[in-house]
């Protein structure tokens, strides 16, 4: 799929919805039998709970898929942004996790997603795309 086609299929999402979806996903991970949520079963259960909740939000299929992929890619984004000085004013370590600014969350809601992983089976935020979205 071309970059333009992928952007059409994974449109930006409202920042408030991304924030809400992240909270639902994290709460579901904490409620999993493995509180760290590190197991595949814990992540899958959290993803299923999130899907059930956002089905009621009136999003079309592309918006719903985009929101789900953004939530699943967000922790990786935080880990990478936390190590990159360009994100220092927007992402700060806090209590074993990260605190992010509203500007960072808005950028994550608009930034492009790109295939990632050894087999390109996952989606990730390119850091340059997040930086561009922060400037826009």
Domain ranges of the chain: 3-135
| Other Cβ atoms closer than 10 A to 2 | 7
| Other Cβ atoms closer than 10 A to 6 | 14
Q: Closest by alpha carbon to 46, among 70, 66, 64, 71?
A: 71
Is the pLDDT confidence value at 39 over 80? no
Q: Which DSSP symbol is given to 34?
A: S
pLDDT bracket for residue 95 (50, 70, 90): confident
How confident is the model over 61-76, as a mean pLDDT?
93
pLDDT of residue 2: 46
């Amino acid at each position: 799929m071309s970059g333009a086609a992928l952007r059409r299929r994974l449109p930006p999402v409202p920042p408030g919805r991304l924030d809400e979806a992240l909270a639902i996903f994290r709460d579901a991970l904490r409620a999993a039998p493995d509180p760290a949520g590190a197991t595949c079963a814990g992540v899958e259960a959290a993803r299923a709970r999130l899907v059930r909740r956002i089905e009621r939000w009136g999003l079309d299929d592309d918006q719903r898929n985009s929101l789900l992929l953004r939530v699943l890619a967000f922790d990786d984004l935080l880990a990478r942004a936390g190590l990159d000085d360009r994100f220092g004013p927007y992402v700060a370590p806090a209590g074993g996790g990260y605190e992010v600014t509203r500007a960072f969350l808005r950028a994550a809601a608009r930034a492009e997603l790109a295939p990632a992983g050894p087999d390109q089976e996952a989606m990730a935020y390119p850091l340059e795309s997040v930086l561009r979205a922060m400037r826009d």
